[in-house]
Amino acid sequence: MFVSRSFQADIDLLPDMTAFLEASLEEAGAGPKESFDLQLSADEIFTNISLYAYQEKVGEVEITISSTEDAITITFTDSGTPFNPLSLPQPDITLGIDERKIGGLGIHLVRELMDTVTYQRRDEKNILFIEKHRESTRK
């Protein structure tokens, strides 16, 4: 399966993106845990792109979902400010809430939930790949 859709990078469109994702993951035959983990990660990524990628201008994010019998991959592509979220240091989650730096927990969550997370900057675009192995292929 392969499906792609572009959205305006606008936090108000999060419900539309979520509906697209839910329908696509159902079509791909994602299990409940796979679907939950992918949706939570995608919500975090879409929110960050919507809030930070374009600053004051309007932009788009293309979301592509592909699946094989082994894994489901979601790719987020935007033309916003160059930013590699994987370059952020791991947050110290042992610190109390009042001692922690603001930010960084979302990408930490994505890293924890996904089996693979990669970033590249190509053709003046940010491209973030997240992949979740299917439960049936886990050992």
- Residue 123's pLDDT is 98
| DSSP label at residue 11 | G
The Cα–Cα gap between 72 and 57 comes to: 32
Sites in the chain below the pLDDT cut of 70: 89-105, 137-139
Q: What is the CATH number of the domain that holds 52?
A: 3.30.565.10
CA distance linking residue 45 with residue 43, whole number of Å: 6
Q: What is the pLDDT of residue 139?
A: 54
Length of the chain: 139
At 103 the pLDDT is 55
Per-residue DSSP letter, 91: P
- The string of pLDDT tens digits covering residues 69-106 is 999 999 999 999 999 999 976 655 555 666 656 555 68
Residues 6+ apart with CB under 8 A from 70: 133, 134, 137
pLDDT at 73: 98
**Beta partners for residue 14, in sequence order:** none
- One-letter amino acid at 55 equals Q
Distance separating alpha carbons of residues 61 and 31, to the nearest angstrom: 26
- Number of domains composing the chain: 1
For residue 94, what pLDDT is reported?
A: 58
The vertex-137 CA angle with 132 and 139, nearest 5°, equals 105
Q: How far is Cα of residue 3 from the mean position of the Cα atoms in its chain? A: 15
Helices 32-48 and 105-113, packing angle to 10 deg: 150
User: In DSSP terms, which residues pair with 66 in a beta bridge?
Assistant: 2, 73
Quote the domain boundaries for residue 115. Answer: 2-137
